[in-house]
Amino acid sequence: MSNDSFTEVTSQSWFSRLGNTFKGIIFGFILVVISFPLLFWNEGRAVKRYKALNEGGGAVISVAADRVDQVNHGKLVHLTGMAATDETLTDSVFGVARQAIKLMRSVEMYQWEQKSQSQEKKKLGGGTETTTTYTYNKTWSANVVKSGNFKVPQGHENPGQMPYSSEKMLAETVTIGAFSMPPSLIGKINVYSPVMLDNDFKLPDTLSGKAQVTSNTVYIGSDPATPQIGDVRVSFKEVKPMVVSLVANQMNNTFEPYNAKSGGTVELLVTGDQSAEAMFEQAQKSNTFLTWILRGIGYVLMALGFSLILAPLSVFADVVPFIGSIVGAGTGFIAALTAGFLSFITIGIAWFVYRPMLGIILLIFAGGIGFFAFSRIRKATPAGAEATLPPESDG
């Protein structure tokens, strides 16, 4: 841990904690409400994308890049060739110039950063005592770090703004063989390599005596070996002409997204020489990966929402800390289980709309989760509870 640190101990009463949890209930309901349409929409998006890619995979034809065949106008085509440009991109501030598809300027400034680590301890009566340690370190950052928000801003002041901004320049005309590439496809070419500044590179007059050049960096400051707060380093990256493979709708000598009959569009680009089959297979894998990521986000939002809704129960029980911990674990389990059950239900309903057979299977699975949860609750009933009930009268 850094020696430049500050430790603060704060206390919160039981009533204050309880009040905050009731405020959190509103936010919890919002998260739960958001999670349902997110999960439902994601399944529709995934199915539409799956069908569009399946349709595209069956309709695509491979063509040569060296000539434009008007017979293929309006058809989904696959081709491989060298994406190239005759344009020279020039950085307007530093004068770096490259014949490239893209040129990017990256600016970083040496600044203070604050990190915090907290430990909370429950006290008898429901209150808490929180020990927070703030540490301060110097680091390179591409964004302005607002030191005015630090717990201890004195001695950790950062400049209020960056002297230069990061910027990306794109060539307007990029060709692949006899074809011209639209901006949507150019934007998909993102394999950058560092720009090396040779001995012939000269700094602008405005930076004379203020900056120095290394192999790939313009350093604005006294000594790169011992950077000071406010020092700036500027580096450049470029996208050079390269072989790419694309799948898109041919429109004369250019391209546009293919509109699938099932809904959705198809417009793919990868670097290197890849077959249409491999590109569609990878696109389907990416669709599956994104689908699971969004499912996970929807579930987490729902589970977090239910946790916030149930939070007052554990705070109530925190009057005796170890009881509050037990109740907190229980409410966390209930929140996770409920979110899982409702997530499956939501996804199942969405599949019932978009993929009926799979939807039925998933709804049955969700019903199994609900039965399991109900069974666990019944088993948790105190032993002998039924025996204490009064016998039924014969009349």
Q: How far apart are the first and last CA of the chain?
A: 77
Percent of the chain with pLDDT over 70: 89
Backbone dihedral angles phi then psi of residue 297, each to the nearest 5 degrees: -65, -45
State CA 240 to chain mean position distance.
27
Mean pLDDT to the nearest integer, 110-139 = 94
The Cα angle at residue 313 between residues 310 and 315, in degrees rounded to 5 = 115
User: In this structure, what token pair is assigned to residue 192?
Assistant: 């950058």
Q: At what angle do helices 276-317 and 14-59 cross, to 10 degrees?
A: 170
In terms of Cβ atoms closer than 10 Å to its own Cβ (0-12, 13-18, 19+), residue 246 is: buried
Which among 96, 135, 244 has a CA at the least distance from the CA of 179?
244
Which residue ranges make up each domain of the chain? 7-51+287-380, 86-240
95 has a pLDDT exceeding 60: yes
- The pLDDT, as a whole number, for residue 251 is 97
In tens, the pLDDT along 332-371 reads 999 999 999 899 889 888 877 776 666 566 667 666 666 6
383 has a pLDDT exceeding 60: no
In angstroms, what CA-CA distances link 301 with 24, 297, 340, 382, 391? 14, 6, 11, 33, 47
- The pLDDT, as a whole number, for residue 1 is 46
391 has a pLDDT exceeding 60: no
In tens, the pLDDT along 258-277 reads 999 988 999 999 999 999 99
- The pLDDT, as a whole number, for residue 18 is 85
380 has a pLDDT exceeding 60: no
- The pLDDT, as a whole number, for residue 376 is 60
The Cα angle at residue 157 between residues 153 and 161, in degrees rounded to 5 = 125
151 has a pLDDT exceeding 50: yes
Tell me if residue 210 falls in helix, strand or coil: coil
In tens, the pLDDT along 22-40 reads 889 999 999 999 999 999 9
The highest-confidence range among 211-215, 292-296, 368-372, by mean pLDDT, is 292-296
User: In this structure, what token pair is assigned to residue 361?
Assistant: 């299977």
Q: What is the C-alpha to C-alpha distance for residues 217 and 233, in angstroms, rounded to an integer?
A: 6
Mean pLDDT to the nearest integer, 2-18 = 87
Percent of the chain with pLDDT over 90: 71
Mean pLDDT to the nearest integer, 117-131 = 90
Query: 83-96: string of b/e by CB count within 10 Å (b at 16+)?
Result: bbbebebebebbeb
387 has a pLDDT exceeding 60: no
Q: Which range among 210-219, 243-252, 322-331, 379-388 shows the weakest confidence by mean pLDDT? A: 379-388
- The pLDDT, as a whole number, for residue 375 is 67
In tens, the pLDDT along 135-150 reads 999 999 999 999 999 9
pTM: 0.80
Residues 6+ apart with CB under 8 A from 263: 48, 51, 52
